[in-house]
């Protein structure tokens, strides 16, 4: 998108250099099970400013005093976790890169989460791109004036807080074997915190402990990467550990309720040139005649699961729980990233950190390239010049 940067990158790209890049990316960690794109995205200043404006508009909604009341119904029955804090610690907003009526590149909101993303890996990924492909410093993967030192310090403030690193653990069902485990290990190296599977944590009274060197060590804070949707059909998984829905003496980073509050559920409340028309299905009085321009999404799913792209009237009429679905205008991605054999579609995730008692701060980004029908990595496994990447923003 920055022509000079794109030309320079494509001119010196080779398959051999990409192999070196992947070796350096995995060195000291593990083989990455998802596809990493051959190239970063070079984001011009005009598009960067629109991405920032669009993101800040969403933040303004989330900071409204009535936001919790507005989103109370987003939390599924039986999954409301006690002791919710005042705000999430993470905000991530996914924007498809499109063209507006003036033929300018513009972001359109696709997804949003009050849940952690690859906050560790994205910095490591960016540094590796810069090293292998000799990317100059007129572009930056950080935003808002952050550099590596200030970013890692903020990440420590958010995740560790006032505690010691050994009192904090990154937790998932089977953390070391998750698809995004490289982010867990990069984060551990950056912050010194533990990585624990759910079964590694035991409850005594209201306290949580893990064992190390034959000693029981109390956890004070959990960096939560567990998505309840993944375990909702089998809650016996909690029997050998602890149930997050119980009253516990633990701090959550971020509290599980925010996963639901800041999600597809929030999108119908947003009115912006950067947000496609979105309605709760239960509020759709008449089915649009141009359904080819809409997409049907379940509220409670992740990684694109359950989304119906080619919507029919019978699809809508067969939904048994319309209160749990949204009908959204399709977003037409512009193939704006030039690969050697043509244009590739792009999505950019703007990533905020929100420390306790502080303000949300936009600091880093994630990007994805796609040639498939959907943007997610799983839908592009058979293509090249697609997958996870980062946006290098014009300074």
- For 160-213, the pLDDT digits (tens) are 999 999 999 999 999 888 999 999 999 999 999 999 999 999 999 999 999 999
Is 170 within 8 Å of 187 (Cβ atoms)? yes
Residue 310 lies in a domain: no
Distances (CA, A) of 340 to 13, 137, 337, 376, 385: 9, 24, 10, 21, 9
Residue 378, phi then psi, degrees to nearest 5: -65, -20
43 lies in a domain?
A: yes
Residue 24 has pLDDT above 60, yes or no: yes
pLDDT of residue 303: 58
Give the range among 79-93, 121-135, 348-362, 366-380 with minimum mean pLDDT.
366-380
Decide: pTM greater than 0.85. Answer: yes
Determine, yes or no, domain membership for 306.
no
* High-pLDDT (> 90) share of the chain, %: 88
Alpha carbons 231 and 69: distance in angstroms, whole number: 26
Contact 184, 195 (CB under 8 A): yes
Mean pLDDT over 332-353 rounds to 96
Does residue 44 lie in a domain region? yes
What pLDDT score does 375 carry? 64
Q: Is residue 201 part of a domain?
A: no
54-90 pLDDT, tens digit each? 999 999 999 999 999 999 999 988 899 999 999 999 9
At residue 306, the pLDDT reads 84
In 3D space, the residue among 40, 4, 3 whose CA is nearest the CA of residue 132 turns out to be: 40
**pLDDT at residue 234 in the model:** 84
pLDDT class for 230, splitting at 50, 70, 90?
confident
44/256 Cα distance (integer angstroms):
35
> What pLDDT is stored for residue 127 in this prediction?
98
Query: What is the helix, strand, coil percentage profile of the chain, to 5?
Result: 30, 25, 40
pLDDT at residue 231, as a whole number: 83
Kindly give, in sequence order, each residue whose CB lies less than 8 Å from that of residue 251, ignoring residues fewer than 6 positions away. Answer: 161, 220, 221, 222
User: Mean pLDDT throughout 341-349?
Assistant: 95
Q: Which residue has the tokens 């551990």?
A: 188
Tally of domains within the chain: 1
Asked, for residue 175, whether it belongs to a domain, the answer is no
Q: Decide if pLDDT at 377 tops 60.
A: no
The Cα 183–Cα 170 span in angstroms is 11
Q: Cβ(126)–Cβ(40) under 8 Å?
A: yes
pLDDT for res 272: 95
pLDDT value for 176: 87
- Residue 191: inside a domain: no
Query: Which residues span the domain enclosing 121?
Result: 3-144+260-276+331-394
Q: Whole-angstrom Cα distance, residue 215 to residue 264?
A: 43
* CB of 333 closer than 8 Å to CB of 326: no
Q: Tell me, what's the pLDDT at 381?
A: 59
Does the residue 123 lie in any domain? yes
Q: What is the mean pLDDT of the chain?
A: 94
Residue 382 has pLDDT above 80, yes or no: no
Closest CA to 301 of 326, 277, 270: 326
Over residues 94-98, the mean pLDDT reads: 97
């Amino acid at each position: 998108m920055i022509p000079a940067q794109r030309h320079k990158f494509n001119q010196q790209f080779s398959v051999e250099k990409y192999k070196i890049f992947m070796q350096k990316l995995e060195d000291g960690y593990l083989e990455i099970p998802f596809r990493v794109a051959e190239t970063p995205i070079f984001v011009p200043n005009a598009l960067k400013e629109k991405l920032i404006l669009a993101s800040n508009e969403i933040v303004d909604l989330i900071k409204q005093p009535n936001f919790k009341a507005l989103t109370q119904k987003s939390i599924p029955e039986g999954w409301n976790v006690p002791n919710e804090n005042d705000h999430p610690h993470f905000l991530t907003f996914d924007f498809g890169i499109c063209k507006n009526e003036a033929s300018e590149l513009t972001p359109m909101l696709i997804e949003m989460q009050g849940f952690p993303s690859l906050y560790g890996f994205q910095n490591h990924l960016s540094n590796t791109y810069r090293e292998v492909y000799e990317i100059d410093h007129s572009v930056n993967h950080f935003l808002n004036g952050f550099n590596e030192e200030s970013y890692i310090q903020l990440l420590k403030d958010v995740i560790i807080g006032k505690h010691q690193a050994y009192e904090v653990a990154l937790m998932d069902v089977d953390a070391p074997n998750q698809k995004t485990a490289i982010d867990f290990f990069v984060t551990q190296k950056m912050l010194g915190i533990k990585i624990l599977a759910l079964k590694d944590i035991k409850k005594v009274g209201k306290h949580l402990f893990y064992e190390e060197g034959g000693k029981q060590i109390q956890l004070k804070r959990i960096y939560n990467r567990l998505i309840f949707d993944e375990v909702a059909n089998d809650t016996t998984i909690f029997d050998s550990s602890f149930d997050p829905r119980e009253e516990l003496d633990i701090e959550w980073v971020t509290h599980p309720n925010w996963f639901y509050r800041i999600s597809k559920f929030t999108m119908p409340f947003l009115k912006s040139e950067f947000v496609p028309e979105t309605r709760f299905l239960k509020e759709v009085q008449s089915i649009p005649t141009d359904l080819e321009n809409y997409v049907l999404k379940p509220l409670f799913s992740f990684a694109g699961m359950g989304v119906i792209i080619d919507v029919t009237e019978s699809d809508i009429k067969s939904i048994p729980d319309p209160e749990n679905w949204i009908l959204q205008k399709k977003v037409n991605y512009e193939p704006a990233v030039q690969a050697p054999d043509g244009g590739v579609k792009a999505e950019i995730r703007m990533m905020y950190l929100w420390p306790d008692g502080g303000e949300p701060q936009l600091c880093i980004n994630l990007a994805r390239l796609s040639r498939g029908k959907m943007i997610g990595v799983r839908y592009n496994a058979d293509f090249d010049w697609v997958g996870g990447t980062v946006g290098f923003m014009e300074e």
